[in-house]
Amino acid sequence: MSESRPYRYASHLACPRCEADYALDSLRQLCACGSPLLVRYDLTRLAATWRPEQLAERPWSLWRYHELLPLAQPEAIVSLGEVVTPLVELPRLGDDMRLPRLVMKDEGLLPTGSFKARGAAVGISRARELGVTHLAMPTNGNAGAAWALYAARAGIQATIAMPEDAPYITRQECSLAGAHLSLVDGLISDAGRQVAGFVAATGVFDASTLKEPYRIEGKKTMGLELAEQLGWQLPDVILYPTGGGVGLIGIYKALQELQAIGWVKGPLPRLVAVQAKGYAPIVRAWQEGARESRFWDQSRTRAFGINVPKALGDFLVLEALYATDGRAIAVSEAAIDWEQRRAAQLEGTFVCPEGAAVLAAARELSTLGEIPADARVVALNTGAGIKYPDDRDLGVPRLAADEALPIPESTTRRPS
Ligand SMILES: *Cc1c(COP(=O)(O)O)cnc(C)c1O
Ligand SMILES: [Zn+2]
């Protein structure tokens, strides 16, 4: 019977703000009211016909959840091998912060080295299916890299604007992939205005964060995978480094959809949005109990991927935090640096600064007593540490060619 089931269960696009509906198979950007659009699925039919056991035979990639993805045809898939990323246990780091059940979903193993590959894989596949030949987007680096490379694979042109101090490797990825790349003396919000001008002048497809409805569907697969990897048991807390917030909204959407089809039960995990002290619009809004954030002036952090002074989907992020009894928290740059080193030393895992911010937040919330020691905690490491070749002074000795290597104090010398 399984062959006769449809490939796709997506039914329409819906506005989470004004509740307008749009047909699925037309090229759409924002709702007429200015809100992002979300893909809706026939969850009733899925609940009746889809079972977790049906996943057993499928390859371990995000496409195993195609019933909850927007593609009409499997032939449309543009893939670079999106592996299901590991849930890595962190027993020593967990003990160190009194969270012995801490695990990390390590997104650094995806193509292009960050979870942005999820959004690009689904977003580009869907764009190609709908006939897009050229797209434009602003980026803090990783999204542009992923979209440029997946666009190249799909034969789609990409125009990308990136702050000039974004991680150098991501610039190379865009440029080598043949994207039309511009470096901007400003923030992603400035690049966003430039892309909007370019789109207005050309009619090129706008692939900016949440200005098309499919990137979030790709990012949603983090939540689907996580639930499956935990045996369809939900954790107590999920911490996520929040920039545009698509990952967090996506995880929330995934868990709600799984709840609706009956694959997970009980309360949703508390969702925690992590930002940095030099840039914390969502944290400020959460502290004020606001439904939207205000533009954050002079925003700055080494965790470059989350430096978004005003996110289009801020109201959806905040809604997810309020609805799950979650919270937002900002960590210091010093805490990010320290935690990145700590994770590498205790666990051998080289997380990106954004991932380090999440671990630092877990530590802080444990210290504050806001996460109990028996909680099952999932930290998202959104990218590989090796994507950030900054030249911080790490205190490493420099030797002349004929100098002896220093012997660490902990090492005994051979008796002479
Ligand atoms: C883009 C990015 C984020 C933020 O993701 P959003 O879904 O936009 O909130 C976090 N970490 C890294 C490494 C990123 O590249
Ligand atoms: Zn609307």
Q: How far is CA 274 from CA 56, 127, 193, 328, in A?
A: 34, 30, 25, 6
Q: Is 210 in the pocket of ligand 1 (CB under 6 A)?
A: no
Q: What is the pLDDT of residues 357-401, one digit of tens each?
A: 999 999 999 999 999 999 999 999 999 999 987 767 788 889 999
* End-to-end C-alpha distance for the chain, whole angstroms: 78
- Identity (one letter) of the amino acid at 176? L
- Residue 143 in contact with residue 120, Cβ under 8 Å? yes
Nearest to 212 by CA among 298, 334, 313, 302: 313
- Tokens 């994770």 correspond to 343
Rounded CA separation 256/377 (Å):
19
Cβ atoms of 256 and 38 closer than 8 Å: no
pLDDT category of residue 245 using cuts at 50, 70 and 90:
very high
Q: Could you tell me the two tokens for 362?
A: 């877990």
pLDDT at 214 exceeding the cut of 50: yes
User: Could you state, in order of their start, the residue ranges of all structural domains in the chain?
Assistant: 87-113+215-387
* Predicted confidence (pLDDT) at residue 143 exceeds the cutoff of 90: yes
pLDDT of residue 144: 97
DSSP secondary structure of 285-327: HHHHT-SS--PPTT---S-GGG--SS-TTHHHHHHHHHHTT-E
Q: Is 354 in the pocket of ligand 1 (CB under 6 A)?
A: yes
Strand-pairing partners, residue 182, are 161
Calculate how far, in angstroms, residue 190's C-alpha sits from the geometric centre of ligand 2: 25
Assign domain 87-113+215-387 to its CATH architecture.
3-Layer(aba) Sandwich (3.40)
Ligand closest in space to the Cα of 38:
2
Task: Identify the bridge partners of residue 318 per DSSP, sorted by sequence position.
Answer: none
Distance CA 190, CA 211 (A): 16
- CB contact set of 79 (below 8 Å; sequence gap of 6+): 61, 63, 121, 125
CA of 241 to the centre of ligand 1 (A): 6
Q: To the nearest whole number, what is the mean pLDDT of the chain?
A: 96
Interval between CA 268 and ligand 1 midpoint (Å): 22
Query: 301 CA distance to ligand 1 centroid (A)?
Result: 13
User: Which of 112, 114, 170, 187 to mutate for ligand 1's pocket (most ligand atoms within 8 Å of CB)?
Assistant: 114
Residue 1: per-residue pLDDT? 45
Q: How far apart are CA 215 and CA 232, in angstroms?
A: 24
Residue 134: predicted pLDDT: 98
8 Å CB contact between 176 and 147: no
- Of 106, 222, 242, 382, the one to substitute when testing ligand 1's pocket (max ligand atoms within 8 A of C-beta) is 382
Q: What is the CA radius of gyration of the chain?
A: 22
CB of 213 closer than 6 A to ligand 1? no
Report which residue type is found at 4: S
Cβ of 116 below 6 Å from ligand 1? yes
Instruction: Output the CA angle 276-278-282, nearest 5 degrees.
Output: 60
List pLDDT tens digits, range 87-103. Answer: 999 999 999 999 999 99
Q: State pLDDT tens for residues 248-291.
A: 999 999 999 999 999 999 999 999 999 999 989 999 999 999 99
C-alpha 144 – ligand 1 centre gap (Å): 11
Task: Find the helix packing angle between 142-154 and 116-129, rounded to 10°.
Answer: 40
Measured by CA distance, the residue closest to atom 1 of ligand 1 is 305
CA distance 60 to 105: 15
pLDDT in tens, 33-67: 999 999 999 999 999 999 999 999 999 999 999 99
Average pLDDT over residues 6-21: 96
- For the question of whether the overall pTM of this predicted structure is more than 0.85, the answer is yes
User: Could you tell me how many residues make up the chain?
Assistant: 416
Is the CB of residue 114 below 6 angstroms from any atom belonging to ligand 1? yes
| Overall average pLDDT of the 119-135 stretch | 98
Q: Residue 28 pLDDT > 50, yes or no?
A: yes
State both tokens at 369: 């007593």
CA of 30 to the centre of ligand 2 (A): 8
Nearest CA to ligand 1 atom 8: 244
